[in-house]
Structure 1
Amino acid sequence: MTDVQESMRHILRCESDAILNIPVSDAYDRAVELIIEHVHRRRGKLVTSGMGKAGQIAMNIATTFSSTGTPAVNLHPSEAQHGDLGVLQPDDVMLLISNSGKTYEIIALVELAHNLYPRVPLIVITGNPDSPLAAIADVTLSTGGAPEVCPLGLTPTTSTTMMTVIGDVLVVNVMRLTGFSREQYALRHHGGYLGSKSRGEESSTER
C-alpha cells in the first residue's frame, strides 16, 4: 500500500469519526423550525454567510436550500458593509458559519443586521459553542470541534466537512417537514441530468 493510500485511509477514518461525533441535540429541531417559520410561513428567506472557506460552504448551503423549495441567498459579510445588507428583510432568518465563532466580519455583520432589523433570528454553525458568536445566536449548532486533518492542523478540512454535513441535515429535514415533492423539484430544475431525472426522462448523455 502506498503512502497516499494509507494517508487516504487515515483521513477517511478521521473525518468519518468527526461526522459521527457531531453533537445531536434539540438545537436542530429549533433551527429547522426557525427556517420553516420564517421562510415557509412568513414568506421571508434564509440568508447565509461566512468568511473564507466557511463562506464557500455557506454559499453551497444557500443554493441547495433554494433548489429544494426554501428561498435562500448568500450574503458576503464584507460586501454587506457596502450596501449588500439591503438584501435582508424583517422576516428573514440568518444562518452564519464560523469555525472559531470569532470571525470579525461575521460579528460585524450581526451588528449591522440587528441595527437594521433587531428581531432577525440567528442560527450559527461553529466549532466553538462558547464563542462570542454562539453567545449572541438564537440557535447554535456545534460541529464538535474535531481537529483538522491538515498536517499543519490549520487548513479548513475536517471543519468544512462538518459544516457541509450540518447543512445537509438542515436541508433534508426542512424538505421532509414541508413535504417537498419530486414534482416541485422538477419545476426548479429545467435543464441537465437532475432535471431530466426528476421528470422521469433520464438520459446518461445529459449533464
Structure 2
Amino acid sequence: MTTAEDIQSILQREANAILNIPISDAFEKAISLIVEQVHRKKGKLVTSGMGKAGQIAMNIATTFCSTGIPSVFLHPSEAQHGDLGVLQENDLMLVISNSGKTREILELLVLASRLQPDLRFIVITGNPDSQLAQSADVCLFTGAPAEVCPLGLTPTTSTTLMTVIGDILVVGTMKATGFDSSQYALRHHGGYLGQLSREQSCDDKK
C-alpha cells in the first residue's frame, strides 16, 4: 500500500530531479535554432521519439503549435514507410531518447539526413556521451536521475524531465518571438483558454 510518506518521497525525488537539470548555454542555442529555422526561415519543428518518449515528443509538438511555432510529430517507425516525406527545407528536428541508443531514432536521423542533407536537430537525452547526442547540433541533458519506479525501469522521472525541458523550450521561444495573447487567441478559438486569451488580448489593447 502506498502511504503518505511514499507519496512525499516520490514528489521530493521528482522535484529534486527537476531542480538538478543541468543548466547550460545549450538551452539558449536550442531556442535560437528554433527561432531561426521555424520563425524566421518558415520551416517547421518536427519532433520524434519512441514509446513513452514519443508521447512526450507529441505533446511538445502540440504545445509549440499553439504558441506560434508550426510543429508536427513524426513517428520513427512510420517514417520508414513514407511519413518521412513530411520533412522539407528549413525544417528542424527535436528528438527524444533517454538512452540515446534507441534504434528507431538513430535510423530515423540517418534517413532524414539523406533526404534533407542540411537538416539540423536537437536531442533531449539522459546520455550525453551517446552517438545520438554527439551527432546532434544541440544536446539537452536531463541529468539522468534514477527513475522513481521501484524497479528502476519504468520511464517516470525521465519522462517528467523531458516534459519540463520541452516547457523550457516553449517558454523561451515565446519570449524570443514576442508571442502574445492576441496571437494565442488566433490559434486557440475553443474552450476556456480561447476565451481567456481573447479577454487578455482585449485588455492589452486598452
TM-score class, shorter: over 0.9
- Correspondences of 1:123-202 after superposition (within 5 Å): 123-200=122-199
Q: Which residue is equivalent to 1:204?
A: none
For the residue of structure 2 that corresponds to 1:27, the secondary structure is helix
| Correspondence 1:7-22 to 2 at 5 A | 7-22=6-21
TM-score normalised over the length of structure 1:
0.95
Q: CA deviation at 1:3?
A: 4.0
CA RMSD of aligned residues (A): 1.0
Matching residue of 1:30: 29
**What is the CA distance between 1:86 and its match in structure 2?**
0.4
Question: TM-score, with normalisation over the residues of structure 2?
Answer: 0.95
- The 2-side partners of 1:59 and 1:106 are apart by 14
Aligned length: 200
Decide whether aligned partners of structure 1 residues 91 and 4 sit closer, same or farther in structure 2, where only a CA change above 3 A counts. same
Matched to 1:176, the amino acid is: K
1:101 aligns with 2:96: no
The code of the aligned residue for 2:39 comes to H
Q: Residues 31-70 of structure 1: matches in 2 within 5 Å? A: 31-70=30-69
Q: Which runs of 5+ in 1 are unaligned?
A: 202-207
Percent identity between the aligned chains? Answer: 69
- Name structure 2 gaps, 5 residues minimum: 201-206
Note the C-alpha offset of 1:124: 0.2
1:102 and 1:127 map into 2 onto residues whose CA distance is 10
CA distances 1:143-185 after superposition (whole Å, capped 9, x unpaired): 0000000000000000000000000000000000100010000
- Deviation, 1:27, is 0.5
- Matched residue of 1:96: which SS? strand
The Cα shift of 1:135 comes to 1.3
Between the aligned partners of 2:155 and 2:25, the Cα distance in structure 1 is 27
Counterpart of 2:147, as a letter, is: E
| Aligned residue in 1 for 2:112 | 113
Distance 2:2 2:23 in 1: 35
2:203 corresponds to: none
Three-state SS of the structure 2 residue aligned to 1:200 is helix
Is 1:86 matched up with 2:76?
no
